[in-house]
Amino acid sequence: MAFLSAVVSLAAAFAASAAPIPLFNTYRAEDGFSNADISLAVVVYDLPTLVALLSMGRLSNHLGRRRTSIASLALLALGCLLLLNVHDVGTLLAGRVLMGLGAGLASSNVTAYIVDAAPAKPAWLASVASSQTPMVGLAIGAIASGALVQFGPWQRHLIYVVAIGLLLLAAALIAISPETVTPTPGAWRSLRPSVGVPARVRRLLPVAAAVFLSTWATGAFYQAFVPALVEEQLHTRSPLVLGLVFAAYMAPSALGAPLSGRFTPAAAQRIGMIAFLAGMIGIITAIATGALALFIAATIVAGASQGIAISAATRGLLHGSTLAERAPIFSVIYLICYSAAAFPSLIAGQLSHTFSLPQIALGYGGLALVATVFTVIAARNPAQLAIRTI
């Protein structure tokens, strides 16, 4: 019960986070938001997430997984309430700040709850569920939002009402699930910023960081720039198409992730990143030529291959982890991930005043190339880790 509740809650958290994405073009058309405004909305979601990861990553060790999980869902619901009335950039940013805080709290604590409660077999399930549930949630949120915006009533409001209902359902499931840790004193002290992974896997962190950096930066590119790109380069304004394009990057990640369990973490990271680079080359080519079919196909390849690489990197860092170590490890993982999403988006948003979208996409391709080369050269396995099979 706890495993299912935690998975549903993490998926709901990220589905709510993706709800505004198909509306970005609506805000651009009806409220005059610019590409830089939309990019800033991505950044102000990511930065509070980083704050939450730095200061609250160990909170569930002291308050319990259930209480912190419910708190994260409540913050996301408050963010959705604010976004019900977006007509200016300030309201959009305020809602995204609350959602970022909720997502940050969920990223470390709900993911730790998933690993705590996961069945022992298959062995890859804990790392796949914890690393890929956010991708599935983002895909579900983007598709549902795109469909409701295009075909449903109350175009600017219905998706947020649905998201709030889903978050309340997830909170109810958590409330009736068993706790997996014994709360201990020291909750206030745990709020002091602290990050780190166990020494036994510290040597794996640079390659894992390269994987997270390139894949999550590309995900942020899809949030910040694909709304305009789909309209200007691929010649469609459909919110559903926009949601499907975003989901085409996120959803295949969950399909590729179980494949990583057939290889050691190092081999899976190499395979995943090489395929990811191939997908990025296809994406850049499609943007330059305006080929929608190639863009979707290359997006699916990049999405599936990022699942292989991210799951393998997560599996390596979780190797031999204890209950108390899991939330801090996920804090480090998502601290890197959200930094990778925020700072390239901030830079790209400023560059969007000078450079075209195809040129910005080329920059993200360069980042993928550097990360792939580094991963191929430097990927290593945890000590004495045997190959796991499905």
Confidence of residue 347 (pLDDT cuts 50, 70, 90): confident
Q: What is the DSSP letter of 204?
A: G
Residue 132: the pLDDT is 77
Give dist(CA 381, CA 54) in Å, integer: 27
Rounded Cα gap, residues 195 and 107, in angstroms: 14
| Pairwise CA distance, residues 54 & 306, whole Å | 25
The pLDDT of residue 190 is 64
Both tokens of 232, joined, read: 């200007």
Q: With bands split at pLDDT 50, 70 and 90, how would you rate the model's confidence at 243?
A: confident
Structure confidence at residue 389 (pLDDT): 36
Q: What are phi and psi of 353, to 5 degrees?
A: -75, -20
pLDDT, position 123: 67
Instruction: Return d(Cα 365, Cα 17) in angstroms, integer.
Output: 25
Are 304 and 255 in contact by the 8 Å Cβ rule? The answer is yes
Please give the residue that has the higher pLDDT: either 305 or 136: 305
Give mean pLDDT, residues 144-157.
88
CB atoms within 10 A of CB 176: 10
Give 233's pLDDT tier (boundaries 50, 70, 90): low
The confidence band for 388, taking pLDDT boundaries of 50, 70 and 90, is very low
Q: What is the pLDDT of residues 249-284, one digit of tens each?
A: 888 887 777 788 788 999 999 999 999 999 999 999
Q: Is the pLDDT of residue 240 over 50?
A: yes
In a domain, residue 44? The reply is: yes
CA separation for the pair 95, 79 (Å, rounded): 4
- Distance, in Å, from the CA atom of 354 to the CA atom of 348, rounded to the nearest integer, reads 10
Instruction: Quickly state the pLDDT bin for 124 (edges 50, 70, 90).
Output: low
What percentage of the chain exceeds 90 in pLDDT?
A: 32
Q: How many other CB atoms are there within 10 angstroms of residue 387's CB atom?
A: 12
Here the tokens at position 344 are 């390239």
Tokens standing for 297?
């196909």
Asked whether the predicted pLDDT for residue 100 surpasses 80, the reply is yes
Instruction: Give the pLDDT confidence score for residue 303 in this predicted structure.
Output: 92
pLDDT(385) > 70:
no
| Range picked from 48-52, 65-69, 334-338 for highest mean pLDDT | 65-69
Does 93 reside within a domain?
yes
Higher pLDDT, 237 or 332: 332
For residue 337, which of 90, 132, 63 has the smallest C-alpha distance? 132
Please indicate, yes or no, if residue 386 is contained in any of the structural domains.
no
Q: Is residue 288 over pLDDT 90?
A: no
Across 191-235, the runs of DSSP E, i.e. the strands, are none
Neighbouring residues of 11: CB distance < 8 A, sequence distance ≥ 6: 133, 134, 136, 137, 140
Q: For 179, how many CA atoms within 13 A lie in the half-sphere containing its CB? A: 13
Report the range of poorest mean pLDDT among 45-49, 123-127, 139-143, 196-200: 123-127
Given this model, what pLDDT does residue 266 score? Answer: 93
Predicted TM-score (pTM) of the model is: 0.74
Q: What is the pLDDT of residues 15-38, one digit of tens each?
A: 999 888 888 878 877 887 877 787
Contact 59, 68 (CB under 8 A): yes
Read off the pLDDT of residues 198-232 as tens digits, 9 standing for 90 and up.
778 889 999 999 999 999 899 888 877 777 777 77
Specify if 191 maps to a domain: no
pLDDT at residue 196 is higher than 90: no
**pLDDT (average), residues 183-187:** 74
Whether 312 shows a pLDDT value over 70: the answer reads yes
Find the CATH number of the domain harbouring 59.
Answer: 1.20.1250.20
Amino acid at 290: G
* pLDDT value at 41 more than 70: yes
Q: Is residue 187 part of a domain?
A: no
Query: What phi and psi, each to the nearest 5 degrees, are found at residue 286?
Result: -65, -40
> Which residue would you say has higher pLDDT here, 176 or 189?
176
pLDDT of res. 10 = 92
Asked if the bond preceding 344 is cis, omega within 30° of 0, the reply is no
| Tokens encoding 299 | 């997006």
Average pLDDT of the chain, as a whole number: 84
Q: Which of 131, 54, 113, 104 is CA-nearest to residue 317?
A: 131
In the predicted structure, residue 236 carries a pLDDT above the cut 80: no
Q: Is the pLDDT of residue 384 over 50?
A: no
- Determine, yes or no, domain membership for 301: yes
Q: What is the DSSP string of 75-134?
A: HHHHHHHHHTT--SHHHHHHHHHHHHHHHHHHHHHHHHHHHHHS-SSSTTHHHHHHHHHH
Number of domains in the chain: 1
Structural domain containing residue 209: 2-177+199-378
Tokens 């990811």 sit on residue: 276
Top-confidence residue, 364 or 234: 364
